């Protein structure tokens, strides 16, 4: 159930997928932690599993924060796209509008996988 209230049904999960829609990681959370505080944890988990962070990341608007973008760039992520821009220009998140639009479309495509799962 998606709301700001206490979780009543199911669990909150974080899915990490690759560019071919293969699920690379799934984390099941207790309670309802904020997406924004989990973003760097999810990147660090990818680094732990694959010994590197992805070069490009596209995520839900809940992960959006200026701090997350700065920390991700420090970890080595080159391009980041959130469904909310968190008061940053496209150029601060990605190298071009073209890349931003590609990552935004990729994120929209992931929604069908999430629904299927």
pLDDT tens across 83-104, in order?
887 777 888 889 999 999 999 8
How high is the pLDDT of residue 76? Answer: 95
**Which stretches in the chain have pLDDT values below 50?**
1
Of the candidates 37, 17, 20, 21, which has an alpha carbon nearest to the alpha carbon of residue 29? 37
- Two structure tokens written together for 44: 């660090």
Of the candidates 29, 90, 89, 39, which has an alpha carbon nearest to the alpha carbon of residue 60? 39
Of the candidates 24, 87, 30, 27, which has an alpha carbon nearest to the alpha carbon of residue 57? 24
How high is the pLDDT of residue 6? Answer: 65
How high is the pLDDT of residue 57? Answer: 94
How high is the pLDDT of residue 54? Answer: 93
How high is the pLDDT of residue 110? Answer: 81
């Amino acid at each position: 159930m998606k709301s700001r209230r206490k979780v009543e049904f199911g669990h909150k999960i974080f899915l990490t997928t690759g560019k071919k829609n293969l699920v690379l990681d799934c984390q099941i959370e207790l309670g309802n932690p904020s997406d924004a505080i989990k973003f760097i944890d999810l990147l660090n988990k990818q680094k732990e599993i694959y010994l590197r962070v992805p070069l490009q990341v596209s995520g839900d608007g809940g992960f959006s924060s200026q701090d997350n973008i700065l920390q991700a760039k420090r970890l080595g992520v080159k391009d980041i796209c959130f469904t909310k821009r968190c008061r940053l220009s496209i150029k601060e998140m990605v190298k071009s509008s073209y890349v931003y639009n590609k990552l935004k479309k990729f994120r929209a495509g992931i929604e069908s996988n999430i629904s299927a799962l």
